[in-house]
Amino acid sequence: MGDNILALHGGPKVKMTPFGTGKRFGSDEAKELLEALEQNTLFYHFGSKVKQFLQDFNDLYNVKYSVATSSGTAALHVALGAAGISVGDEVITSPITDQGTVVGILYQNAIPIFTDLDPYSYTMSAESIEEKITAKTKAIIVVHLAGNPCDMDPIMKLAKKYNLRVIEDCAQSYLTTYKGQLTGTIGHYGCFSTNDFKHISTGDGGMVTVNSGDETDYFTTHAFADKNYRRQEDTVMKDLEYLAPNYRMTELQGAVGIAQLKKLNWICTRRNELGGRLQQGIATIKGINPMKITGEGWCSYWFYMLTLNLEQLTCTREEFSEALAAEGIPNQPGYIPKVLYAQPIFQKEQAYLNSHYPFNLGSYDYSIGSCPNAENILETAIRLNISEFYTDQDIEDMIIAISKVASYYSK
């Protein structure tokens, strides 16, 4: 009986041993970095590291072309630029994502349109997207949140019907598959981030896959990340036909990326095992809605997020989170602070200081309550860290602690 007293109330803690940790960077990264410096240039076009990183990435993803960028946010902007998204175009995306998903939309003076999510998988569906399609819709940015793939077949079918470009935000979904196909290779472009919090890190950085395999499409995508300079083997075309930012990756990032990419398979496989075990271990606990993995999907668990069924519990989400933390299980109530459209940038329709452009091109619905499932997810979610360095015991302790807290607060 005594074991069931919450640690929060002075009972024994579930987690008595420290969580597994490990080193992300080692001698492989150091060797690559030293080689980069010895080239006497850190510019991607003169060196070999970014080129090698791209080649390795293309081989891993079995794509013909990709473009390296300075961040995931940049990768998404590059994909939108290459897709020809411009003034007043509407781009449908998820309200639960990193703000990097929408930054490029607004820099193109296009309009982010938010669609509601499945309450348990936290992903966008073709049905929810179709409700938001207008004559102005030009693209969809699907977000494979936490490494869980969106149900892509119906989304691609919808995109074909309405002639929309599909950009996959894969910042959290390295090596995730949908029906055996890698996310990032299903839509027209796949965008990745190598910021320091992702499965692999180059400090900051990103990648765009050009899935058409078309050379012109590749050159346009490449130029959009390089101030519209069109660099080929030994020629550089410098005609500035339209606006393109400088989002180049440096040789230092490329060098670290080469070494990190070699670890990616191990990292994702281990996260899939650990996340899958957690998923299974909490599947039948009263008051807990486990994260629903999309059918025929393989999840690389950038994090694990469950939601609470508060009608079956006597506590608030914050009390649950605190009780779980007291048991020795670090967790966060929710994910981003609020759905993106609740942020002042949308509530004030202010993409640029001192301007309401491009929001004043039309009338857009950013009202609170417009994506009720998404809002409810953020109000009831408990987010748990998953690390490839965690041990099996760490996951078992997480399951025991969640079960202990849920049963204590069970109605």
Ligand X SMILES: *Cc1c(COP(=O)(O)O)cnc(C)c1O
DSSP state of 148: P
Note whether 95 binds ligand X by CB under 6 A.
no
Note whether 142 binds ligand X by CB under 6 A.
no
Q: Which two tokens stand for residue 351?
A: 């993409």
Measure the CA–CA gap between 372 and 115, rounded to whole angstroms. 10
For residue 100, which of 209, 6, 197 has the smallest C-alpha distance?
197
DSSP state of 340: G
Find the shortest distance in angstroms from Cβ 70 to ligand X. 8
Note whether 125 binds ligand X by CB under 6 A.
no
Note whether 149 binds ligand X by CB under 6 A.
no
Long-range contacts of 41-49 (CB under 8 A, 24+ apart): 41/251, 42/250, 42/251, 42/252, 43/250, 43/251, 44/68, 44/248, 44/249, 44/250, 44/251, 44/254, 45/231, 47/251, 47/254, 49/251, 49/252, 49/254, 49/255, 49/257, 49/258
Note whether 121 binds ligand X by CB under 6 A.
no
Find the shortest distance in angstroms from Cβ 241 to ligand X. 26
Residue in 98, 118, 151, 251 binding ligand X, rule: CB under 6 A:
98
Between 325 and 336, CB nearer to ligand X: 336
Residue in 80, 171, 258, 384 binding ligand X, rule: CB under 6 A:
171
Note whether 279 binds ligand X by CB under 6 A.
no
CA separation, residue 362 to residues 111, 136, 139, 349 (Å): 9, 10, 17, 11
Measure the CA–CA gap between 81 and 221, rounded to whole angstroms. 7
Note whether 228 binds ligand X by CB under 6 A.
no
Of all residues in the shown chain, the one whose CB is closest to ligand X is: 72
For the chain, state the CA radius of gyration. 22
Measure the CA–CA gap between 86 and 266, rounded to whole angstroms. 40
User: Binding-site residue total for ligand X (CB under 6 A)?
Assistant: 15
The residue annotated as part of the active site, out of 23, 198, 227, 404, is: 198
Exposed, middle or buried, 310 (CB in 10 Å: 0-12/13-18/19+)? middle
Between 123 and 193, CB nearer to ligand X: 193
Find the shortest distance in angstroms from Cβ 289 to ligand X. 22
Find the shortest distance in angstroms from Cβ 353 to ligand X. 21
Note whether 71 binds ligand X by CB under 6 A.
yes
Find the shortest distance in angstroms from Cβ 99 to ligand X. 8
Residue in 193, 209, 211, 220 binding ligand X, rule: CB under 6 A:
193
Measure the CA–CA gap between 260 and 173, rounded to whole angstroms. 16
Note whether 206 binds ligand X by CB under 6 A.
yes
With contacts defined by CB under 6 A, name the span among 126-134, 165-173, 234-242, 335-343 that binds ligand X. Answer: 165-173
Give ∠ CA 256-262-264 in degrees, rounded to 5: 100
Between 66 and 73, CB nearer to ligand X: 73
Measure the CA–CA gap between 411 and 45, rounded to whole angstroms. 63
Q: Is 198 a catalytic residue?
A: yes
Q: How many CB atoms lie within 10 A of CB 381?
A: 22
Note whether 169 binds ligand X by CB under 6 A.
yes
Q: Which two tokens stand for residue 240?
A: 């500035």
Residue in 63, 96, 140, 143 binding ligand X, rule: CB under 6 A:
143
Note whether 201 binds ligand X by CB under 6 A.
no
With contacts defined by CB under 6 A, name the span among 2-10, 157-165, 166-174, 353-361 that binds ligand X. Answer: 166-174
Note whether 168 binds ligand X by CB under 6 A.
no
Note whether 101 binds ligand X by CB under 6 A.
yes
Asked whether 89 and 110 are in contact (CB, 8 A), the reply is yes
Note whether 300 binds ligand X by CB under 6 A.
no
With contacts defined by CB under 6 A, name the span among 15-23, 98-106, 284-292, 349-357 that binds ligand X. Answer: 98-106
Helix (H) or strand (E) holding 283: none
Question: What is the rounded (10 degree) CA torsion for 8, 10, 16, 22?
Answer: 30
Find the shortest distance in angstroms from Cβ 218 to ligand X. 21
Note whether 72 binds ligand X by CB under 6 A.
yes
Which residues are part of the catalytic machinery? Answer: 198
**Which residues are at the interface with ligand X (CB under 6 A)?**
71-73, 97-98, 100-101, 143, 169, 171-172, 193, 195, 204, 206
